[in-house]
């Protein structure tokens, strides 16, 4: 945290409730602890070593980062156990080797050729890299196909490669974000567990140790740990939550910690108001959820209540403008301030140099987003 005085924020700025942040961290940790599952939060949501430290102090075993540049920032800040659930390419071998000198690092692989390249890098360097095999549980992004006839053979060959320490299996049920009901969400989590434990059983039957089964997403977090066999969960978004998580039932608005404070800069027509937070603040991400969630965020007129104005819809975002449809009798005037609950907190954070932590009295403290923009 910065110690030097900084000017009060100008809008638009992201404000984070310190109390809700702490509550979200504590609740997710309790959920994991009671289920006997290790929690390894994904730090891409906050990109802040300060918040990562809060998660570790609460009981997390380490963190995840998406990219090596993020991991380098967290390693510089003294975080010593980092997992990259990302298919890091061996062209980055120099950076992985440098990180291995100072932290416990693990990555995922989903390709025998790539794993073999990593094996070569590590044996030449006399080092060992922890790897988990990524399994595609229905998101159809990265991962080995669990239904492929040779999948067990492929993983078995990866598991014995020299220079690699095969830790187990890892999945991310990103399709949970498109679930249309709580039942569909539960079915996605259950299927993920079935696939992962089934594959682990097949590997163990071949004598291959599968020490870890790591799953992770915020929408499925409350569902996954109760399932037998999972050893680790990696939710990220839960530290802040957002409008999408409210839409998916993972949180209520009262759990949401991050809002954008914005100013009305124009009221050019009776049914239109313009805010100073466009796609360079809120991003263009749409909200998802079980019901219809039109617009680029929910607008709150009061600074301290958790009830959005349902009649105000952010219909459009240009880079620096949010175009809102408002009731013709809306009292909003240029200069008025509102709060916006963003659709997707993780991408908003990445656009911000700093978050403003608000204590219970509303006093603000700047919190640098140290790994902001670290996408390489
Ligand atoms: C591989 C992986 N693990 C974990 C997470 C965390 O999931 P969530 O953003 O739902 O908290 C993500 C999110 O993108 C991810 O890609």
Q: Whose CA is nearest to atom 8 of ligand 1?
A: 217
The structural domains of the chain, with segments of one domain joined by +, span: 19-240, 253-368
Contact present, 246 and 289 (Cβ < 8 Å): yes
Architecture of domain 19-240: Alpha-Beta Barrel (3.20)
Per the structure block, which two tokens stand in for 228?
């037998």
Contact present, 189 and 176 (Cβ < 8 Å): yes
Q: Whose CA is nearest to atom 2 of ligand 1?
A: 172
pLDDT band at 223 (very low <50, low <70, confident <90, very high): confident
How many CB atoms are closer than 10 A to CB 218?
Answer: 29
Architecture of domain 253-368: Beta Barrel (2.40)
pLDDT band at 339 (very low <50, low <70, confident <90, very high): very high
Residue 237 Cβ < 6 Å to ligand 1: yes
Query: In the predicted model, is pLDDT for residue 298 greater than 90?
Result: yes
60, 64, 213, 216: residue to mutate for ligand 1 pocket, most atoms within 8 A of CB: 216
pLDDT band at 181 (very low <50, low <70, confident <90, very high): very high
Query: In the predicted model, is pLDDT for residue 121 greater than 80?
Result: yes
pLDDT digits (tens, 9 = 90+) for 55-93: 999 999 999 999 999 999 999 999 999 999 999 999 999
Contact present, 134 and 109 (Cβ < 8 Å): yes
Contact present, 265 and 334 (Cβ < 8 Å): yes
174, 176, 224: residue to mutate for ligand 1 pocket, most atoms within 8 A of CB: 174
Residue 146 Cβ < 6 Å to ligand 1: no
What pLDDT does 303 receive? 76
Residue 372 Cβ < 6 Å to ligand 1: no
Query: In the predicted model, is pLDDT for residue 227 greater than 80?
Result: no
pLDDT band at 225 (very low <50, low <70, confident <90, very high): low
Share of the chain above pLDDT 70, in %: 97
Q: What is the mean pLDDT of the chain?
A: 96
Residue corresponding to tokens 């998101």? 139
Which of 140-144, 286-290, 345-349 is predicted least confidently? 286-290
- The CA-atom distances, in angstroms, between 277 and each of 92, 202, 360 are 36, 51, 25
What pLDDT does 302 receive? 83
pLDDT band at 305 (very low <50, low <70, confident <90, very high): confident
Q: Give the closest residue to 258 by CA, choosing from 372, 347, 374.
A: 347
Strands across the sheet containing 38-39: 38-39, 232-233, 212-215, 164-170, 129-134, 104-109, 81-84, 63-64
What pLDDT does 213 receive? 97
Per-residue HEC secondary structure of the chain comes to: CCCCCCCCCCCCEEEEEHHHHHHHHHHHHHHHHHHCCEECCECCCCCCHHHHHHHHHHCCCCEECCCHHHHHHHHHCCCCEEEECCCCCHHHHHHHHHHHCCCEEEEEECCHHHHHHHHHHHHHHCCCEEEEEEECCCCCCCCECCCCCCHHHHHHHHHCCCCEEEEEEECCCHHHHHCCCHHHHHHHHHHHHHHHHHHHHHHHHCCCCCCEEEECCCCCCCCCCCCCCCCEECCCHHHCCCHHHHHCCCCCHHHCCEEEEEEEEEEEECCEEEECCCHHHHCCCCCCCCCCCCCCEEEECCCCCCCCCCCCEEEEECCCCEEEECCCCCCCCCCCEEEEEECCHHHHHCCCCEEEEECCCCCEEEEECCCCCCCC
Q: What is the mean pLDDT of residues 269-288?
A: 97
What pLDDT does 228 receive? 77
What pLDDT does 360 receive? 92
Distance 55 CA to ligand 1 centre (A): 16
* Separation CA 96–CA 339 (nearest Å): 41
Q: Whose CA is nearest to atom 7 of ligand 1?
A: 217
19-240 matches 253-368 in fold: no
């Amino acid at each position: 945290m910065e110690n030097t005085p900084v000017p009060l924020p100008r809008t638009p700025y992201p404000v984070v409730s310190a109390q809700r942040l702490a509550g979200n961290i504590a609740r997710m940790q309790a959920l994991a602890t009671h289920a006997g599952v290790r929690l390894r939060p994904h730090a891409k949501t906050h990109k802040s070593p300060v918040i990562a430290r809060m998660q570790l102090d609460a009981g997390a075993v380490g963190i995840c980062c998406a990219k090596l540049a993020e991991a380098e920032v967290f390693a510089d800040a003294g975080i010593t156990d980092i997992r990259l659930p990302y298919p890091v390419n061996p062209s980055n071998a120099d950076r992985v080797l440098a990180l291995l000198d100072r932290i416990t690092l693990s990555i995922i692989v989903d390709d025998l050729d790539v794993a073999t390249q990593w094996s070569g890098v590590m044996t030449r360097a006399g080092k060992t890299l922890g790897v988990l095999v990524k399994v595609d549980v229905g998101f159809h992004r990265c991962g080995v196909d669990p239904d492929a006839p040779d999948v067990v053979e492929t993983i078995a060959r990866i598991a014995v490669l020299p220079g690699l320490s095969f830790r187990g299996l890892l999945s991310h049920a990103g399709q949970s974000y498109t679930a249309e009901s709580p039942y569909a969400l539960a079915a996605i989590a259950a299927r993920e567990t079935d696939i992962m434990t089934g594959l682990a059983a097949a590997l163990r039957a071949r004598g291959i140790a599968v020490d870890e089964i790591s799953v992770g997403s915020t929408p499925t977090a409350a569902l996954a740990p109760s399932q037998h066999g999972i050893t680790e969960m990696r939710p990220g978004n839960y530290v802040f939550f957002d409008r999408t998580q409210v839409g998916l039932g993972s949180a209520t608005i009262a759990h949401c910690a991050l809002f954008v404070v914005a100013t009305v800069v124009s009221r050019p027509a009776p049914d239109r108001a313009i805010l100073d937070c466009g796609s360079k603040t809120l991003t263009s991400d749409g909200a998802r959820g079980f019901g219809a969630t039109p617009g680029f965020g929910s607008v709150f007129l009061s600074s301290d209540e958790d009830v959005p104005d349902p009649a105000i819809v952010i219909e459009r975002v240009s880079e620096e403008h949010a175009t809102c449809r408002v009731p013709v009798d809306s009292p909003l005037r240029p200069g008025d301030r509102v709060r916006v609950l963003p659709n997707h907190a993780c991408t908003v954070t990445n656009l911000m140099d700093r978050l403003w932590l608000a204590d219970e009295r509303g006093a603000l403290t700047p919190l640098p987003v140290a790994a902001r923009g670290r996408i390489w």
